[in-house]
Chain A
Amino acid sequence: MSFSERLSLLDLDYVEEHTEIRPVLDATRLVRMVQEGRVGGTDALFDAYGKYVERLLLRVLGPDPELEDLLHDVFAEALSSIGRLRDPEKLKPWLTRLTVNVARRALRTRSRRRALLFVSSEPTSEHASPSASPEVVDLIERVFDILGSLRPNHRLAFSLRYIEGMTLPEGAEAVGVSLATYKRWLNAANRGFVSRAKKSDRALYDQLLSTSRWGGFR
């Protein structure tokens, strides 16, 4: 019996009293714990999905000065509306949908702000880990620079499909549209991305056209 399985046999109250022990709870127990407002519920939910949601936000939005706030928004919304989640097994897709909604809201707000105020984004290096190589930072900057020119919905479709690696049905579910609409957005995003790369980042465009080398684009 694994450590996680042994822990899951313990009474939840015991687990809550020993909050340094972070058991791997199955979704049903986790949802119940949060819905009942038990001590440790927030920790357990955040432990289980905090990193996933952070990554998803980063993959959709790229480096963002308000990422911490947006991550907070996702969990604040999740904690306040988890009572409406009827099927605990759907916890992850439900959180994904919430995350995508928060990201979409941020993209729309930013898009309006940029249009009105000509606000430029901060350099990626402001947010990057000090140990990140300049090449990695450069790649992120170049790709998100192009993604920034796409419409929010198209950008979402692109990021979820190619960066997050979702299948088409998963992507459609995450953004809450039909498969046909999602495909339409994705096609528009593909065209927009390639044509923008052709105009403003010739090196990236050439790499898109070239054969696979060096295991990728770095």
Chain B
Amino acid sequence: MTTRLEELGTDVASAIDEALVDTARRNAVLKRLKADERVVRTSTSPPRARTVSWAAGIGFAAAAAAVLFVWLGSTPAPLTYAVAGEGLPRTDDAPILAAKSAVDVRFSDASIVRLSPGSRAHVEQLDSRGASVALDQGTVAVNVPHRAETRWEVRAGPYRVRVTGTRFHVDWDPTERRFGLRVTEGSVRLTGPDMVERTVRGGESVDRSPEEREASAAVDPPAPEDEASGEGTTAAAHPSTSGRPSSSGAPAPLPPSWRPPEPSSSKPLRVRPPPKAPPTPASPLPIEKAADDARPPAASPPAEVLVAPESAATPEPASAPEPAAAPENEPEEPEWSALLRNGEYEMALRRLDGSAISDATWRATATQLLGLGAAARRLGDPRAGSFYAALRSRFPGSDSSADAAFMLARMSFHRRSYASAATWLETYLRERPEGRFARDASGRLIEVYRELDDPRLEDTARGYLARHPNGPHAALAREALQ
């Protein structure tokens, strides 16, 4: 088992290097380090040679006593703050008003909150690691120097911005219930009444208002081909956090974390209705059926496991045009649908029972089907294959469809269904000879052909070595040629 854990760890390390190591992150940190004069200045002088003497001993004892005294006699003091124009520092929660000119509030940890003219705020809480500032109205610019144990928060109505060290602006209009956040540097965590907690990074902004939420409720999901790229989770795919100035008048597109507001919201918001009578496919096939029985012919487009009805030619039934104003008594969006939108696939899967499964299979986007498939595999749910099969049926020719073929190959292989694995690997390589899994697929094909004693083994091994002489399957390929 230890060997298997070592192998797993090696794979995870490579996966992390591929997916998560980020030059931009390091550049940002270096910039912060260089900007942080405090850190640079405290780079200490070289250690002095160790000299032991009675004087040093006494000095050490005195210092230790002093440290002990300080440690016993004190706990970290809460921050204080001073409002520009006032004489004494404050520790209370009295209102801070900026009437006709901006007002700076300086905290004892060197953080600064600047209220723009016409703004009102108050300090809700102070402790040794930070403060909680409530913006009652207007705009504040906040600069919090980062430290190891920072706990800063800015609250604007129902929104909370949690800070660890950064610069940002917050707007809050209590009358319109309009909230705006623009992060200049670093990152913050934002929570609000209609969203899950999320990170907003430097250069990104978020606008929330009832109108925009209402408008975003009417926005269709992205076109299937966009979704089908399988890459839709970076800033570019989160238009609401893509650096758009907060003054933008355009309604914010639907962010992935968007959720319908609570019914108690001041304005009733429209909920997108489910599509009318979605085409019902044959009941999703169990994993074995999907992966084994669907054998794409070698020289023609692969046969689909699920036969899509005519209407499936429109790739995304859910994106059909909608009426401009939906009646308020329309049925609510199913819970699993909201979970899918938020990427909570495992939870969605648990909600998908017999009747909902076919609806979900036909309404989900390509990315969501990939996510459902991955979640099903994780949970050992036999429906994994059917999600991939449905994806191939509904989004033929897309990158996601090819990815699904690769996933089906993997699943077949792990069940030792080598013939099926070979067919799916060949399908993937035919559809995406330069695709993201191409190297892996051709390497795995060597393994499969070896298991099957297939005469194509040598050609495949030669082809692999020609393209990937140092690839992970190179040794196996050389062995196959001996």
- The chain A residues found within 8 Å of chain B, CB to CB, are 32, 34-37, 41-43, 46, 50-51, 54-55, 58-59, 62-63, 65-69, 71-73, 75-77, 79-86, 102, 105, 119, 122-140, 142-143, 159, 161-165, 190, 193-194, 200-204, 206-210, 212-218
Nearest opposing residue in chain B for A74, CB measure = B29
In the complex, A161 Cα to B407 Cα: how many Å?
A: 29
Nearest opposing residue in chain A for B28, CB measure = A68
* B390 interface hit (Cβ, 8 Å): no
Contact segment of B14-22, B94-102, B167-175: B14-22
Cross-chain pairs A/B with CB under 8 angstroms, 9 sampled: A37-B40, A42-B40, A54-B26, A55-B17, A125-B233, A132-B18, A162-B12, A206-B414, A213-B447
In the complex, A204 Cα to B189 Cα: how many Å?
A: 32
* B7 interface hit (Cβ, 8 Å): yes
Kindly provide the distance from the CB of A12 to the nearest chain B CB, expressed in whole angstroms. 14
Asked if residues B8 and A208 are in contact (CB atoms below 8 Å), the reply is yes
* B385 interface hit (Cβ, 8 Å): no
Of residues 46 through 71 on chain B, the ones whose CB sits less than 8 Å from some CB of chain A are 46-47
Point out the residue from B5, B32, B199 that lies within 8 Å of A72, measured CB to CB.
B32
Kindly provide the distance from the CB of B471 to the nearest chain A CB, expressed in whole angstroms. 9
What is the interface size of chain B, counting residues whose CB is below 8 A from a CB of the partner? Answer: 76
User: If the complex has contacts A55-B16, A194-B1, are A50 and B46 also in contact, measured as CB distance less than 8 A?
Assistant: no
In the complex, A190 Cα to B9 Cα: how many Å?
A: 12
In the complex, A207 Cα to B411 Cα: how many Å?
A: 11
* B104 interface hit (Cβ, 8 Å): no
Kindly provide the distance from the CB of B112 to the nearest chain A CB, expressed in whole angstroms. 19
Asked if residues B47 and A84 are in contact (CB atoms below 8 Å), the reply is yes
In the complex, A51 Cα to B351 Cα: how many Å?
A: 42
In the complex, A213 Cα to B443 Cα: how many Å?
A: 11
Contact segment of B79-87, B211-219, B304-312, B373-381: B373-381
Point out the residue from B164, B233, B403 that lies within 8 Å of A128, measured CB to CB.
B233
In the complex, A212 Cα to B18 Cα: how many Å?
A: 22
Q: Label chain B's interface by main secondary structure.
A: helix
* B10 interface hit (Cβ, 8 Å): yes
Asked if residues A162 and B5 are in contact (CB atoms below 8 Å), the reply is yes
Inter-chain contacts of B39 with A (CB < 8 A): 42, 75-76, 79-80
Asked if residues A35 and B44 are in contact (CB atoms below 8 Å), the reply is yes
Asked if residues B414 and A213 are in contact (CB atoms below 8 Å), the reply is yes
User: If the complex has contacts A123-B343, A202-B380, are A135 and B40 also in contact, measured as CB distance less than 8 A?
Assistant: no
Q: Which of A138, A194, A200 has the most CB of B within 10 A?
A: A138
In the complex, A72 Cα to B44 Cα: how many Å?
A: 18
Asked if residues B44 and A82 are in contact (CB atoms below 8 Å), the reply is yes
Point out the residue from A42, A119, A140 that lies within 8 Å of B15, measured CB to CB.
A140
User: If the complex has contacts A75-B29, A75-B33, are A216 and B42 also in contact, measured as CB distance less than 8 A?
Assistant: no
Inter-chain contacts of B378 with A (CB < 8 A): 138, 142, 200-201, 203-204
Point out the residue from A102, A119, A162 that lies within 8 Å of B8, measured CB to CB.
A162
Inter-chain contacts of A217 with B (CB < 8 A): 7-8, 11-12
Nearest opposing residue in chain B for A212, CB measure = B7
User: If the complex has contacts A84-B47, A134-B403, A140-B16, are A58 and B11 also in contact, measured as CB distance less than 8 A?
Assistant: no
Inter-chain contacts of A208 with B (CB < 8 A): 1, 4-5, 8
Further 18 A-B residue pairs, CB within 8 A, beyond A59-B12, A79-B33, A215-B473: A43-B30, A58-B20, A59-B13, A59-B16, A66-B164, A69-B164, A77-B148, A122-B198, A128-B20, A129-B22, A134-B370, A139-B11, A204-B378, A206-B414, A212-B3, A212-B7, A213-B447, A216-B472
Inter-chain contacts of B447 with A (CB < 8 A): 213-214
Point out the residue from B7, B374, B413 that lies within 8 Å of A216, measured CB to CB.
B7
Inter-chain contacts of B186 with A (CB < 8 A): 68-69
Kindly provide the distance from the CB of A95 to the nearest chain B CB, expressed in whole angstroms. 14
Asked if residues B26 and A46 are in contact (CB atoms below 8 Å), the reply is yes
What 7 A-B pairs are tightest by C-beta distance, nearest first?
A83-B44, A162-B9, A202-B380, A132-B19, A125-B233, A216-B11, A128-B19
In the complex, A88 Cα to B183 Cα: how many Å?
A: 39
Asked if residues A137 and B19 are in contact (CB atoms below 8 Å), the reply is yes
Inter-chain contacts of B25 with A (CB < 8 A): 54, 67-68, 71
Nearest opposing residue in chain A for B380, CB measure = A202
Asked if residues A135 and B5 are in contact (CB atoms below 8 Å), the reply is no
Q: Which of A65, A69, A164 has the most CB of B within 10 A?
A: A69
User: If the complex has contacts A79-B33, A83-B43, A208-B1, are A161 and B21 also in contact, measured as CB distance less than 8 A?
Assistant: no
Inter-chain contacts of A42 with B (CB < 8 A): 30, 33-34, 39-40, 43
* B295 interface hit (Cβ, 8 Å): no
Kindly provide the distance from the CB of B45 to the nearest chain A CB, expressed in whole angstroms. 6
B197-237: CB near A (< 8 Å → 1, else 0) gives 11100000000000000000000000000000011011010
In the complex, A103 Cα to B229 Cα: how many Å?
A: 34
B122-160: CB near A (< 8 Å → 1, else 0) gives 000000000000000000000000111000000000000
Asked if residues A190 and B2 are in contact (CB atoms below 8 Å), the reply is yes
Asked if residues A79 and B374 are in contact (CB atoms below 8 Å), the reply is no
Inter-chain contacts of A126 with B (CB < 8 A): 198-199, 233
In the complex, A86 Cα to B50 Cα: how many Å?
A: 10
* B444 interface hit (Cβ, 8 Å): yes
